[in-house]
Structure 1
Amino acid sequence: MPNKKRKSDNHNFTGYMFISPFLIGFFLLTLYPILYSLYLSFTDYDLMSSPNWIGLDNYRRMFTGDATFWKSMEVTTMYAGVAVPIRLVFALLVALALNKIVEAAGWYRTLLYLPSVVGGSIAVSIMWRQLFGNDGAVNSFLAMLGLPTHSWLGDPATAIWTLIVLYGWQFGSSMLIFLAGLRNIPKTYYEASSVDGAGPIKQFFIITLPLLTPVILFNTIMQVIQGFMAFTPSFVVTNGGPVNSTLLYVLYMYQRAFEYFDMGYASAMAWFMLIIIAILTGVIFKSSQYWVHYESDSK
Structure 2
Amino acid sequence: MSVPRPPGPDPARSVRARRRRRRKEALTAYAFLAPWFAGLLLITAGPLLGSLYLSFTDYSPLGGAQWVGTDNYTRMFDDPRFTKALGNTALYVFVSVPLQLAFALALAMVLDRGVRGLSIYRSVYYLPSLLGSSVAIAILWRKVFGADGLANDFLAFFGVEGRSWVADPSTALGTLIVLNVWTFGSPMVIFLAGLRQIPPSYYEAASIDGAGRLRKFASITLPLLTPIIFFNLVLQLIGSFQSFTQAYVVSGGNGSPADSTLFYTMYVYIKGFTAFEMGYASAMAWVLVLIIAVLTGINFLMSKYWVFYGDK
Which TM-score band (shorter chain)? over 0.9
Q: 1:191 to 1:115 in 2, by over 3 A?
A: same
Return the match for 2:280 from 255, 265, 275: 265
Name the structure 2 match of 1:12: 26
Name the structure 1 match of 2:87: 74
Tell me how far 1:280 sits from its aligned partner.
0.6
CA distance in 1, matches of 2:180, 2:37: 34
Give CA-to-partner distance per residue, 1:37-77, whole Å, 9 cap, x none: 110000001112221111000001112x2111001111111
Amino acid at match of 1:110: S
CA distance in 2, matches of 1:3, 1:49: 58
CA distance in 1, matches of 2:90, 2:147: 27
CA distance in 1, matches of 2:98, 2:126: 18
1:92 counterpart = 2:68: no
Q: Secondary structure at the match of 2:311?
A: helix
Tell me how far 1:144 sits from its aligned partner.
4.3
Q: Secondary structure at the match of 1:9?
A: helix
CA distance in 1, matches of 2:144, 2:67: 47
Name the structure 2 match of 1:43: 57
CA distance in 2, matches of 1:37, 1:287: 31
CA distance in 1, matches of 2:291, 2:224: 29
Amino acid at match of 1:147: V
Amino acid at match of 1:265: Y
1:151 counterpart = 2:164: yes
Return the match for 1:136 from 141, 149, 154: 149
Counterparts of 1:219-234 in structure 2 under 5 Å?
A: 219-234=232-247
1:189 counterpart = 2:202: yes
Give CA-to-partner distance per residue, 1:91-126, whole Å, 9 cap, x none: 000111111124211111011101111111111101
Return the match for 2:290 from 266, 275, 287: 275
Give CA-to-partner distance per residue, 1:162-216, whole Å, 9 cap, x none: 0000000000000011111111111111111111111111100000000100111
Amino acid at match of 1:49: G
Return the match for 1:170 from 175, 178, 183: 183
Give CA-to-partner distance per residue, 1:122-159, whole Å, 9 cap, x none: 11101111111112222233334432021201111000
Amino acid at match of 1:28: L
Give CA-to-partner distance per residue, 1:14-53, whole Å, 9 cap, x none: 1111111111111110011111111000000111222111
Q: Secondary structure at the match of 1:295?
A: coil
Counterparts of 1:241-252 in structure 2 under 5 Å?
A: 241-252=256-267
1:60 counterpart = 2:74: yes
Name the structure 1 match of 2:5: none
1:32 counterpart = 2:46: yes
Name the structure 2 match of 1:290: 305
CA distance in 2, matches of 1:142, 1:278: 42
Q: Once structures 1 and 2 are overlaid, which stretch shifts more, 11-20 or 200-209?
A: 11-20
CA distance in 2, matches of 1:109, 1:153: 30
CA distance in 1, matches of 2:159, 2:215: 43
Q: Secondary structure at the match of 1:254?
A: helix
Tell me how far 1:273 sits from its aligned partner.
0.7
Amino acid at match of 2:224: L
Tell me how far 1:231 sits from its aligned partner.
0.5
> 5+ unaligned residues in a row in structure 2: which ranges?
1-12
Amino acid at match of 1:281: T
Amino acid at match of 2:273: F
Q: Once structures 1 and 2 are overlaid, which stretch shifts more, 130-139 or 81-90?
A: 130-139
Q: Once structures 1 and 2 are overlaid, which stretch shifts more, 205-214 or 137-146?
A: 137-146
Return the match for 2:230 from 217, 222, 239: 217
CA RMSD of aligned residues (A): 1.1
CA distance in 1, matches of 2:151, 2:18: 73
1:204 counterpart = 2:223: no
Q: TM-score normalised to the size of structure 2? A: 0.92
Identity among equivalent positions (%) equals 50
